[in-house]
Amino acid sequence: MNTSAVESILFAIVSLGLGIVSVIFGMNLLPERMAAEEAGTVVPWFLTWVMIGLTVLSAIGVAGYLLMTGLSDRRRY
């Protein structure tokens, strides 16, 4: 494995880690759903969780691309 493949795999792991960190931040910083409903802020609460979900999906997509790039056979190109 060459250094660019190792770097791609490491960056894929970092990308997945950032997705996990965004979920952890959401769980710790956002109020519970019942508290948001009582305060009348359920729509911003829901939209924030949608954005966190999109961030996780993006992190998975970037990690997949980096893994495919890092593990591909470069002699084909």
Q: d(Cα 65, Cα 49) in Å, to the nearest integer?
A: 24
pTM of this structure: 0.84
Count CA atoms within 13 Å of residue 62 on its CB side: 16
Please state the separation of Cα 75 from the chain's center in Å: 31
Select from 24, 27, 23, 12 the least CA-distant residue to 59.
Answer: 12
How many other C-beta atoms lie within 10 A of the C-beta of residue 61?
A: 12
Q: What is the pLDDT of residues 32-76, one digit of tens each?
A: 999 999 999 999 999 999 999 999 999 999 999 999 988 886 665
CA distance 76 to 68: 14
Predicted pLDDT of residue 1: 66
More confident residue, 7 or 1: 7
